[in-house]
Amino acid sequence: MSVEVRELELSVASGPEGRVDAAIHRPGRRRGSPVLLLPGAGGDLESEPLLALAEVVAACGHTAVRANLPHHQAGRRAPRAETAVPACNEVLSAVQEQTGDRRPWVLGGRSFGGRVASLAVAGGTEAAGLLFSGYPLHPPGKPDRLRVEHWPNVGVPCLFLQGDSDPLADLELLDAHRRKLPRRSALEVVPGGDHSLRVTGARSPDGAPRSPTDSIQRLREPICGWLAER
């Protein structure tokens, strides 16, 4: 399927100079809900895992937009996730305005970006679903400090893409706490994957290392299947 990719500039009042950068992946034959993907705390819209996820989403026939939050644009350290929710909503509104598509979007993204999107939905932001790449369930090595308090208010279907060697997500805890989500959720596990879904040769089941792009491409079928229901 042919996909057009082009840069966008979104008008966001809280962004530096009143804007943030974004990119849109628009498949030739579009179907289903469009998808907005936000970066992790330390990356930006060009980070490999986010770009790979956008490419797979577009290959499934869904428009995908990668967008910076204001702190990414300004090169600042990430704020607390809760304080980034208004900026997430600003970016969503700007994307809907620029694309002319005001349907509910699937929201999510990489690590911090996905968590911010989930907090926005828990606070009342309308969405068709949540797509997480490496949800940061807890700080590294601190599984007692779970980031799930808002999950009972997340009333949309969720898809988690997680590595089983991710120090920010104990998969047994994730599986147990997914029951707190009001709507059905799905979990796709990358064997040997770290927080970015990268697999080293030492952790790989077959001894072959895999980049985040390789890992996400291998999840194309379940991602497309989940998106088809949105």
Q: What pLDDT is attached to residue 141?
A: 87
Integer Rg of the chain from CA: 16
Q: What pLDDT is attached to residue 104?
A: 97
Query: CA 125, 114, 95, 19 torsion: positive or negative?
Result: positive
Structural domain that includes position 57: 3-228
Buried b (16+ CB within 10 A) or exposed e, 197-228: bbbeeebeeeeeebebbebbeebeeebbebbe
- CATH number, position 92: 3.40.50.1820
Question: What is the three-class DSSP state of 106?
Answer: strand
Alpha carbon dihedral 115, 121, 122, 123, in 10-degree steps, equals 110
The count of structural domains within the chain is 1
Q: What pLDDT is attached to residue 82?
A: 97
DSSP 40-63: -SS--TT-HHHHHHHHHHHHTT--
Neighbours of 136 (CB within 10 A): 21
Residue 15: closest CA among 54, 81, 67: 67
Q: Which residues in the chain show pLDDT less than 70?
A: none
Alpha carbons 155 and 197: distance in angstroms, whole number: 26
Buried b (16+ CB within 10 A) or exposed e, 81-115: beebbebbbbbbebbbeebeeeebbbbbbbbbbbb
H helix runs in the chain, sequence order: 48-59, 70-74, 85-99, 112-122, 171-177, 212-218, 220-228
